[in-house]
């Protein structure tokens, strides 16, 4: 376990890391600007580009018809690259202008005249439900006898939860540069989590075969799911201009255009009935999940599936039915965002837990512990029939309860709020502790595969290429540490190469937190094959005097060539490896500190570099390519049953908030987190994922409000869309990793860290509710707030009468 | 044009190197000039509106910093034109390492303050600015709060900020050489100082720029022209292609406009070029309540260039200083071709973004009260996010009491922003609160007046009802905090 900085940290802090738009402009390069619809739904009657094409500096104006195939889509191919007959969301791209300067392209864009016939738009989940405006069919996961159990339950709560979307707000907006190459080829540099999809969308769009399109991703300035699918059409725009004009073409969206055009976290509305007993044990749950998919399918159906698979979160619910339906509305096509559907399912069940506690007058932590998955009493099987193995949840809950002094603080807060209810100068305080159990794997089985190419050069340094894309999470650092440690080298001996479809094809997006799990395992399998060959060679070399080694004799051809066996491929990254070190040993040879020696006779040694030179002269391959897939996945989408996940990443957080009753402002004063990330490859990077995900989630549940007018996003810049600032960081912010050496399912016992900690932000949302519970109006009723609980949402809950008094009917807000 | 000897180029130093820019290039945003013309791509553009700090560079401008020891301050390069850099010395992220990383960079690397790397150069520059301040003050440590205050203008979406705070407090100041010592040579100072005495006139097809050295020269320019201070708003609307900045007048060479002066004990005069950062330093002990308020709004990068006069001249109903100024008997000093006049701030705001200025008139200063010890002053700002956010409502109250036990108000001034087309003085509410002893009934009557006086709208920051409720609550809070408890 290392604490090494991110492998690009030194160039990041020097301003020398290259992002797509940092590529030096070519002499004949053109800029591409996108014109998009201001209307949520309209027919396009006419597009007049004649004025724009005459604008000085303009090289071309392109429409949907200019694409060979004007259609794309990740799961369903349902979306035009450029809308030509109708627009289905405000921000939908219609035309491209390519010009010699960005200024010319932007000004010329204003001269394109489009005649629209505006149509009524579907702008809410309720309207979509009423109109049965859906994307794909309804899905269901069910266990037990829900109706019966609900009827016989001593207590029942029926309620709903409204969850709003959120913008990814990656700092680097969508961007691509396309270079036309000889013989009709296109090389495209994109800021994408999914280069293979960029390659395919560009190829289809331009009428090229995959062999003629190469997509390269060096790094992204943040992705968070927002560049899983939606980077592809942007890249296609640059590629189209490059192909048509035979000039390099660059597209750099402004933050405003990026936010207006691209989809967000899916909003959800969930309706539920829960039955429970006097102790708060949940007996049955019936939940109907509706999501706002926006205008096109994008990834929404998979997101819904993950929401359904996470509606249990950490809790065993014997009788449970979850149905899910994606709604088609006229918003930007909503898409992947860290956590995928998980946070929405978990938001619902955590709210339910709090409501049960409030109803019974108990502490919510007690209800959580009571319902938590446990290894006893058959309470370790999910509603989709997967056994929760290596269940750390009970331990996490009780560890954090002690560490954060939960019970003492609970008492103090109760006393404080008792005073505060009468004394307006005091804030209201709230405390909540929520767990997460997040399933690791794509729920679509075929995506759970990866490949890696490892090259050992003759100076003993390595280049590694995988399908993983680097977006700040440190996937490259982790993979290079895996590879380096296996050969006893330091990380600086290994260079991670840009992700490129000509080296790693048929890759999956870097998503679902699985980047290192999949690609790291593939890289490790590849390097072990090289290691096995080198080990076998070393054993034979150690039997010869050094004077007879190839480096002295190869040119002469006086010595017999040594040959080695090609080891049989395995799909298990932990095969042959010592569990504690994670290192595999072959032929009794150890690789350590740049040296190679016989484990039993350490004096028989040579440098790694020398061994590599020997291998080359003995014509032993120093490159390897490996493929890896997650084993044991059996989830059946039709029955909703089976092993959906390789393992679960788990964690808990306790958040304390204080609320200003005059203004509704909430301040998160303290957060304590314990996270189970197995045995990290790099603890520092993992901790960075935890704090980053938590604060990102905190923005979603508090200040981040997407404000639309007639379907057009008005909060499309940081001046109006407020992600957390450094001042919002909790004053006390303790994060610790659980010591868990038992995750045999994954490469070297690690666990994925990217998404799971985001879901812990729900403790902030429930803590805000907790703070309001002492107010008289909530004595018998749990506070009802949307997610995010903005200060307006909170103030409305505190002063419902005053809000009623001053709200004028203003039509649609 | 009168025949004043002028130059047709901008002069500044970039990473110690002399840059003389003329023609249309002077109208480029500094960040574009750096990235696309000088291949200094470490400076990033994210929002192009001064809200994220990714474009931060360090800048020294002699007039701004004359009274301060720390001279290199972080600014946003995405909303300032190259022309506005005239007379400055600039440092970008690429110049810091030599080639060994500075202790700021090392701390950011070793404490894992960087993930995707896109915001990182901006944070490095903001923290280098903080370190520079610390070096000048001969301080050897940085506190968490100082770290947060220095990077309020920088957004990061990856780290959750915790590692960045850790990096900041771990900067090894003892092994850091000041940017000033590295990049601000004697020769450079002389060169710049000599140029500051010569007006600038750049005329091109797309961009005209005029910088006189005296206010009266300004009236000699005959085309309609926008006065640019820090262009923290003009630069934004330019970038967003709403109104392009084509003709700009800059007063940066008029040295007397940088003055802050006390007039007697009770009045303060703030020149048109005084930045909010400089003002904050000045009022820290003089008007602590205002200094505290200045910490809450805008980023350090903005406040290092933006002026108090600009905040007023922009006439936005949600500008953050007008409520304060409206309670302080503020007068706007204006110079025009026909001489000087003073306008009461109350009659200066005509309507939404409309001000009471005649053609060619230029605001040269603001004069306002310094609140006395016997008075109470409260300034509130309510926004979606506590720091660096545009207000939904901002509120100022200033009161003097008839009696020591604070049961009767002698004089009260209330001003609110975000509840009408302009910032409002609440005259009727004020009246309803004065003359007799405060009582619950009296307060309720005042609140009725308040709700009559304000005319809030619903927009993306808040609904009208939120603004009603909050404004009422803020008045209640003010009385709760400052008046003797009124039994109700």
Cα–Cα distance, A488 to A530 (Å, whole number): 13
Q: Which has the minimum average pLDDT: B84-98, B289-303, B377-391, B408-422?
A: B377-391
Partner residues linked to A266 by β-bridges? none
Whole-prediction pTM value? 0.97
Closest partner residue to B159 among A17, A692, A717, by Cβ?
Answer: A692
Average pLDDT of every residue of chain B: 94
Closest partner residue to A813 among B116, B463, B472, by Cβ?
Answer: B463
From A53's Cα to the closest Cα of chain B, the distance in A is 19
Instruction: Answer for the pair A756, A656: CB distance below 8 angstroms, yes or no.
Output: no
Closest partner residue to A717 among B47, B380, B470, by Cβ?
Answer: B47
- By three-state DSSP, how is residue B345 classified? helix
Chain-centroid distance, C-alpha A327: 22
Q: Which contiguous run of DSSP H or E holds residue B60?
A: strand B56-60
A677: cis peptide before it, omega within 30°? no
Instruction: Answer for the pair A522, A570: CB distance below 8 angstroms, yes or no.
Output: no
**Is A192 at the interface with chain B, CB within 8 A?**
no
Is A546 assigned a catalytic role? Answer: no
Other CB atoms within a 10 A radius of the CB of residue B400 amount to 14
Residue B452: closest C-alpha in chain A: A806
From B246's Cα to the closest Cα of chain A, the distance in A is 14
**Is B241 at the interface with chain A, CB within 8 A?**
yes
Q: Taking CB atoms and an 8 Å cutoff, what residues of chain B touch A717?
A: 47, 49, 51
For Cα atoms B84, B86, B90, give the angle at the middle one, nearest 5 degrees: 95
**Is A630 at the interface with chain B, CB within 8 A?**
no
Cα–Cα distance, A342 to A756 (Å, whole number): 9
Instruction: Answer for the pair B351, B420: CB distance below 8 angstroms, yes or no.
Output: no
**Is A705 at the interface with chain B, CB within 8 A?**
yes
Q: Taking CB atoms and an 8 Å cutoff, what residues of chain B touch A703?
A: 384-385
Q: Taking CB atoms and an 8 Å cutoff, what residues of chain A touch B469?
A: 795, 799, 802-803, 806
Partner residues linked to A162 by β-bridges? A269
Cα–Cα distance, B217 to B364 (Å, whole number): 13
From A223's Cα to the closest Cα of chain B, the distance in A is 9
Residue B66 pLDDT > 90: no
Instruction: Answer for the pair A769, A782: CB distance below 8 angstroms, yes or no.
Output: yes
Instruction: Answer for the pair A760, A674: CB distance below 8 angstroms, yes or no.
Output: no
**Is B385 at the interface with chain A, CB within 8 A?**
yes
The pLDDT score that the predictor gives to residue A558 is: 86
**pLDDT, block means (10 residues), chain A with 813 residues:** 95 98 97 98 98 98 98 97 98 98 97 98 98 98 98 98 98 98 98 98 98 98 98 98 98 98 98 98 98 98 98 98 98 98 98 98 98 94 97 98 98 97 94 98 97 98 98 98 98 98 98 97 97 97 92 84 87 95 96 98 97 96 97 96 98 98 97 98 98 98 98 97 97 96 95 98 98 94 97 97 80 38
From B278's Cα to the closest Cα of chain A, the distance in A is 22
Say if residue B105 is exposed, middle or buried (CB neighbours under 10 Å; 0-12, 13-18, 19+): buried
Buried b or exposed e, range B430-441, using 16+ CB within 10 angstroms: bebbbeeebeee
**Is A726 at the interface with chain B, CB within 8 A?**
yes
**B387–A728: do the CB atoms touch at under 8 Å?**
yes
Instruction: Answer for the pair B128, B49: CB distance below 8 angstroms, yes or no.
Output: no
Tell me, letter by letter, the H, E, C secondary structure of B268-308. Answer: EEEECCCEHHHHHHHHCCCCHHHHHHHHHCCCHHHHCCCEH
The pLDDT score that the predictor gives to residue B221 is: 85
Partner residues linked to B394 by β-bridges? B381, B417
Cα–Cα distance, A192 to A202 (Å, whole number): 13
The pLDDT score that the predictor gives to residue B3 is: 54
**A9–B94: do the CB atoms touch at under 8 Å?**
no
**B114–A254: do the CB atoms touch at under 8 Å?**
no
Residues 6+ apart with CB under 8 A from A309: A141, A341, A345, A382, A384, A439, A443, A644
Residue B488 pLDDT > 50: no
**B460–A802: do the CB atoms touch at under 8 Å?**
no
Catalytic residue from among A269, A755, A786, A793:
A755
Closest partner residue to B480 among A424, A692, A796, by Cβ?
Answer: A424
Q: Taking CB atoms and an 8 Å cutoff, what residues of chain B touch A8?
A: 114, 117
Residues 6+ apart with CB under 8 A from A392: A650, A676, A738, A740
The pLDDT score that the predictor gives to residue A1 is: 77
Per-window interface: B 147-176 vs A, CB < 8 A:
147-148, 151-152, 154-165
Q: Which contiguous run of DSSP H or E holds residue A9?
A: helix A9-12
* B308-352 confidence digits (pLDDT tens): 999 999 999 999 999 999 999 999 999 999 999 999 999 999 999
Per-window interface: B 95-114 vs A, CB < 8 A:
96-97, 101, 104-106, 108-110, 112-114
Q: Taking CB atoms and an 8 Å cutoff, what residues of chain A touch B47?
A: 255, 717-719
- By three-state DSSP, how is residue A42 classified? strand
* B148-207 confidence digits (pLDDT tens): 999 999 999 999 999 999 999 999 999 999 999 999 999 999 999 999 999 999 999 999
**A663–B470: do the CB atoms touch at under 8 Å?**
yes
Per-window interface: A 416-435 vs B, CB < 8 A:
424-425
Pairing of strands A213-217, A499-500: antiparallel
Instruction: Answer for the pair B372, B383: CB distance below 8 angstroms, yes or no.
Output: no
**B157–A222: do the CB atoms touch at under 8 Å?**
yes
**Is B476 at the interface with chain A, CB within 8 A?**
yes
Cα–Cα distance, B86 to B95 (Å, whole number): 20
């Amino acid at each position: 376990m290392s604490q090494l900085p991110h492998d690009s940290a030194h160039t990041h802090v020097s301003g020398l890391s290259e992002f797509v738009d940092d590529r030096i402009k070519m002499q004949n390069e053109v800029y591409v600007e996108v014109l998009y619809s201001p209307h949520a739904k309209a027919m396009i009657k006419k597009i007049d580009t004649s004025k724009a094409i005459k604008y000085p500096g303009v090289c071309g104006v392109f429409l949907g018809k200019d694409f060979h195939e004007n259609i794309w889509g990740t799961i369903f191919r349902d979306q035009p690259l450029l809308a030509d007959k109708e627009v289905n969301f405000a921000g939908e791209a219609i035309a491209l202008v390519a010009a010699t300067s960005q200024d010319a392209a932007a000004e010329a864009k204003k001269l394109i005249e489009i005649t629209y016939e505006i149509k009524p738009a579907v702008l809410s989940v309720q309207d979509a439900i009423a109109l049965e405006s859906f994307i794909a069919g309804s899905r269901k996961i069910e266990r037990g006898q829900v109706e019966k159990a609900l009827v016989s339950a001593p207590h029942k709560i029926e309620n709903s939860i409204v969850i709003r979307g959120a913008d990814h707000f990656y700092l680097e907006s969508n961007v691509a540069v396309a270079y036309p190459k000889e013989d009709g080829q296109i090389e495209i540099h994109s800021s994408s989590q999914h280069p293979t999809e960029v390659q395919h969308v560009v190829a289809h769009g331009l009428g090229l075969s995959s062999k003629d399109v190469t997509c390269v991703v060096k790094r992204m300035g943040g992705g968070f799911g927002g560049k899983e699918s939606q980077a592809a059409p942007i890249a296609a725009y640059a590629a189209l201009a490059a192909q048509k004009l035979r000039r390099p073409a660059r597209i750099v969206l402004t933050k405003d255009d990026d936010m207006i055009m691209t989809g967000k976290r899916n909003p959800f509305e969930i309706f539920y009935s829960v039955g429970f007993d006097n102790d708060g044990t949940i007996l049955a749950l019936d939940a109907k999940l509706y999501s706002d998919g926006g205008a096109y399918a994008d990834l929404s159906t998979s997101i819904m599936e993950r929401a359904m698979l996470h509606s249990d979160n950490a809790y065993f619910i014997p009788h449970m039915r979850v149905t899910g339906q994606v709604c088609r509305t006229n918003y930007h096509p909503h898409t992947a965002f860290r956590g995928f559907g998980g946070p929405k399912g978990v938001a619902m069940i955590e709210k339910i837990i709090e409501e049960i506690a409030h109803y019974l007058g108990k502490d919510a932590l007690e209800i959580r512990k009571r319902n938590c998955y446990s290894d006893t009493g058959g309470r370790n099987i999910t509603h989709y029939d997967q056994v929760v193995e290596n269940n750390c949840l009970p331990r996490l809950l009780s560890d954090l309860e002690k560490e954060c002094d939960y019970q003492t603080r609970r008492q103090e807060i109760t006393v404080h709020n008792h005073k505060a209810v009468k004394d307006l100068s005091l804030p209201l305080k709230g405390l909540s502790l929520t767990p997460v159990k997040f399933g690791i794997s794509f729920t679509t089985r075929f995506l759970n595969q990866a490949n890696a190419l490892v090259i050992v050069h003759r100076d003993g340094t390595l280049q590694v290429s995988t399908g993983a894309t680097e977006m700040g999470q440190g996937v490259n650092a982790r993979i290079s540490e895996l590879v380096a440690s296996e050969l006893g080298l330091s990380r600086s001996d290994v260079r991670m190469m840009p992700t490129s479809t000509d080296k790693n094809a048929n890759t999956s997006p870097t998503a679902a937190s699985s980047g290192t799990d999949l690609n790291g395992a593939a890289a490790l399998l590849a390097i072990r094959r090289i290691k096995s060959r080198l080990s076998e060679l070393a054993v034979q070399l150690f039997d010869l005097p050094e004077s007879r080694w190839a480096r002295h004799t190869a040119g002469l051809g006086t010595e017999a060539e040594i040959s080695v066996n090609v080891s049989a491929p395995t799909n298990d990254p932990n095969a042959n490896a010592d569990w504690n070190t994670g290192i595999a040993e072959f032929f009794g040879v150890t690789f350590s500190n740049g040296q190679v020696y016989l484990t039993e006779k350490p004096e028989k040694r040579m440098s790694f570099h020398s061994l590599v030179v020997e291998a080359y002269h003995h014509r032993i391959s120093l490159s390897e390519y490996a493929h890896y897939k997650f084993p044991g996945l059996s989830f059946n989408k039709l029955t909703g049953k089976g092993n959906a996940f390789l393992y679960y990443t788990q964690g808990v957080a306790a958040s304390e908030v204080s609320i200003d009753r005059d203004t509704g402002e909430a301040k998160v004063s303290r957060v304590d987190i314990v996270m189970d990330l197995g045995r990290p490859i790099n603890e520092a990077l993992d901790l960075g994922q935890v704090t980053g995900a938590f604060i990102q989630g905190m923005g979603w549940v508090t200040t981040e409000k997407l404000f639309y007018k007639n379907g057009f996003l008005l909060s499309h810049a940081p001046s109006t869309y407020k992600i957390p600032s450094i001042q919002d960081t909790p004053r006390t912010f303790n994060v610790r990793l659980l010591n868990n050496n038992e995750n045999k399912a994954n490469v070297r016992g690690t666990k994925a860290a990217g998404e799971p900690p985001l879901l812990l932000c729900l403790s902030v949302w429930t803590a805000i509710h907790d703070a309001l519970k002492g107010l008289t109006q909530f004595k018998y009723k749990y506070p009802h707030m949307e997610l995010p609980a903005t200060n307006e949402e909170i103030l409305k809950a505190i002063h419902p009468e005053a809000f009623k008094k001053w709200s004028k009917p203003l039509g649609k807000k | 044009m009168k025949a004043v000897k002028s130059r047709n180029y901008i002069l500044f130093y970039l990473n110690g190197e002399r840059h003389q820019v003329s023609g249309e290039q002077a109208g480029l945003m500094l960040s574009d000039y750096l990235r696309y013309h000088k291949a200094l791509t470490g400076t990033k553009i994210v929002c192009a509106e001064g809200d994220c700090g990714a474009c931060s560079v360090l800048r020294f401008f002699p007039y701004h910093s004359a009274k301060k020891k720390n001279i290199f301050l972080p600014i946003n390069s995405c909303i300032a034109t190259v022309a506005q850099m005239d007379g400055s010395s600039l440092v970008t992220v690429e110049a810091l390492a030599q080639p060994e990383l500075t202790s700021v960079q090392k701390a950011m690397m070793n404490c894992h303050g960087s993930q995707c790397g896109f915001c990182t150069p901006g944070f490095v520059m903001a923290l280098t600015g903080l370190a520079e301040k610390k070096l000048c003050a001969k301080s050897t440590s940085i506190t968490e709060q100082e770290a947060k205050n220095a990077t309020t203008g920088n957004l990061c979406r990856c780290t959750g900020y915790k590692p960045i705070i850790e990096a900041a407090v771990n900067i090894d100041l003892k092994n850091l050489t000041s940017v000033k010592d590295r990049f601000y040579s004697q020769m450079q100072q002389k060169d710049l100082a000599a140029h500051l005495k010569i007006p600038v006139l750049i005329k091109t097809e797309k961009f005209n720029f005029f910088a006189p050295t005296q206010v009266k020269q300004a009236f000699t320019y005959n085309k309609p022209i926008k006065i640019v201070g820090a262009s923290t708003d003009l630069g934004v609307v330019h970038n967003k292609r709403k109104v392009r900045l084509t003709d700009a007048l800059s007063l940066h060479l008029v040295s007397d406009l940088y003055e802050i002066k006390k007039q007697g004990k009770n009045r303060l005069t703030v020149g048109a070029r005084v930045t909010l950062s400089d003002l904050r330093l000045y009022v820290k002990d003089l008007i602590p309540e205002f200094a505290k308020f200045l910490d809450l709004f805008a980023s350090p990068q903005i406040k290092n260039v933006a002026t108090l006069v600009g905040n007023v001249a922009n006439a936005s109903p949600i500008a953050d200083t007008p409520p304060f100024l409206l309670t302080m008997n503020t007068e706007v000093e204006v110079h025009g071709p026909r001489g000087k006049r003073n306008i009461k701030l109350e009659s200066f705001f005509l309507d939404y973004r409309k001000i009471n200025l005649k053609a060619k008139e230029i605001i040269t200063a603001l004069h306002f009260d310094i609140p006395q010890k016997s008075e109470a002053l409260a300034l509130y700002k309510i926004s979606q996010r506590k720091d660096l956010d545009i207000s939904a409502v901002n509120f100022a109250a200033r009161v003097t009491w008839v009696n020591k036990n604070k049961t009767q108000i002698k004089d009260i001034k209330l001003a609110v922003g975000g509840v009408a087309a302009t910032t409002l003085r609440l005259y009727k509410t004020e009246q309803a609160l004065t003359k007799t002893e405060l009582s619950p009934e009296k307060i309720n009557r005042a609140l009725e007046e308040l709700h009559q006086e304000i005319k809030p709208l619903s927009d993306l920051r808040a609904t009208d009802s939120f603004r009603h409720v909050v404004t009422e609550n803020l008045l209640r809070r003010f009385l709760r905090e400052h008046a003797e408890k009124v039994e109700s």
